[in-house]
Amino acid sequence: MHRDTVAEVSIGAIRDNVARIKRALPARVKLMAVVKADGYGHGAAVAAAAAERAGADLLAVAYLDEALQLRAKGTLLPILILTPIHPAEVMFALEHDLMITVASADWFRRMAPYRHSSCRKKLKVHVKADTGLGRIGLRTREEWDELAPWLSAEDVEVDGFYTHFATASREDTRFLRQQADTFLAMKTWVAESGIAVRHYHCAGSAAALRFPELAMDMVRIGAAMFGFYPEELVRDVSLRPALSLRSRLIQVKLLRRGECLGYDNSYVAEEDQWIGTVPIGYADGWSQSLRHSEMLVNGIRVQVVGKICMDQLMVRLPGRCEPGDEVVLIGRQGEERITFKELAACVGSVPQEISTGLSERVERIYTE
C-alpha cells in the first residue's frame, strides 16, 4: 500500500561508516557492531549484513529475542546479548550459539536447574562490570570472588569482560578517566583469579572514536554506525547519517488571522497564512515534544504549528504550496538540512531516541 511518509536508509552509509571506523582502529582490535532496537530504527538484519560486509567481527543486541530474530534471518556472526537473559532461557542461548552477559553469581545459581545435563556445549559469557554508569554489572571484589568459581566451570567459556562509559560524549573527560582506571583495576582481579578472558572491551562509539588508547581487544560500535557521534569532538573520522525521512503535503489551506487549528485550539494565526498538513504523527514516532521543530518544503524551513496529532501534523508554509509537494523531516533539500542532532536538541535527548522512536508504520526503503 502506498504511503507518502517513508524512511530511506542508505546501506552504503552504514557500510562506509563501519569501514571508516575499523580503518581508524589498531589492526588487532575487533569491532562489535551493535544492532539493538532494530538497528537503532534502521533495520537490524540489514544493518548487521552491512556491518559484516564492512569488516565487523561480532554483533551485539539488547535482548534475547533480537538475537533469535537475527539467527532466524541467517546471521552467522557471533552475537552478544547485552542485557542478562532470564536464567530459564539459558538453553536458547546454547542452542543458537549466543553469548550472554552475566554480572553475578546469583544468576548462575538460578540458571542451574534449567540447563540440560545432556547439553555439552559451553555457555559463552561476557562479564559486565559497573565502573560508574550505575546500570548493571558487578562493582566489588567480593562480587567478583563469588562469581569467579562459576566462571571456572568446564562448561563455561569467558569470552569477554567489559564495562560502559557514562560520559564519553562530554568534553570533560575526568569521569571517563576515572571509570577507565577502575576498569583496569578490575582487570587485575581477573588476572589474580587465573580465569582466561578472550576480549576486554570498554569503548562504545564515542569513546572508540575519541580515545583509541582505550580500544583494548574490541570496541562496540552502535550509534556511530548510523552517523550519530560527537562530531565536534572527533577530528579524524567523518561519518554520515544513514537515514532520511520524507513525506508530502496532503492538504494546503489558507488560515485567516485569528483562526485556530489543532487540538485544544493549540495554534492561533496572528496573520493570514498558508498551512500544510503532513501525514505523520505521534503514532509514527513523531512525538508531540517535537511540536516546535522545523521541516523543509521547497528548500525552505517551515515550523510545525499546533499540537502534533496521532496521524498528521500541520506546518506554517512560506506561501502557497501544492498538495504533493515534498516535505523533508530528516535530511537535505536544496541547501538546507534537518539533522537528527537538531531534532534531539528540541526534545532534550540524543539522536538515537529519534531514530528508534520511528514506528513500524513508517516504511523503510533501502538504497545503496
Q: What's the CA gap between 20 and 292, in Å, rounded? A: 35
135 is in an annotated binding site: yes
Nearest one of 350, 326, 360, 17 to 168, comparing CA atoms: 350
Listed in order, strand segments (DSSP E) in the chain are 6-10, 30-34, 58-61, 79-81, 98-102, 123-128, 156-162, 199-201, 218-221, 243-248, 251-255, 260-261, 267-268, 273-278, 294-297, 300-305, 313-316, 326-333, 336-338, 363-367
Task: Give the 3-state secondary structure of residue 255.
Answer: strand
Strand pairing of 313-316 and 363-367? unpaired
In the 8-state DSSP scheme, what is residue 335? Answer: T
In the 8-state DSSP scheme, what is residue 331? Answer: E
Other Cβ atoms within 10 Å of 82 Cβ, number? 23
C-beta separation of 221 from 35 below 8 A: no
Q: Which three cell numbers stand for residue 311?
A: 496521524
Residue from 73, 114, 253, 263 carrying the catalytic annotation: 263
**With 0-12 CB in 10 A as exposed, 13-18 as middle and 19+ as buried, what is 319?**
exposed
Phi, psi for 30 (deg, rounded to 5): -85, 155
Residue 121 falls in the annotated catalytic set = no
Q: What's the CA gap between 31 and 25, in Å, rounded? A: 9
Residue 282 falls in the annotated catalytic set = no
Query: What's the number of CA atoms in the CB half-sphere (13 Å) around residue 67?
Result: 27
Residue from 36, 124, 128, 307 carrying the catalytic annotation: 36
Other Cβ atoms within 10 Å of 331 Cβ, number? 18
Task: Give the 3-state secondary structure of residue 355.
Answer: helix
Q: Residues annotated in the binding site for substrate, as ranges?
A: 135, 310
Query: Residues with catalytic annotation?
Result: 36, 263
Q: Residues annotated in the binding site, as ranges?
A: 135, 310
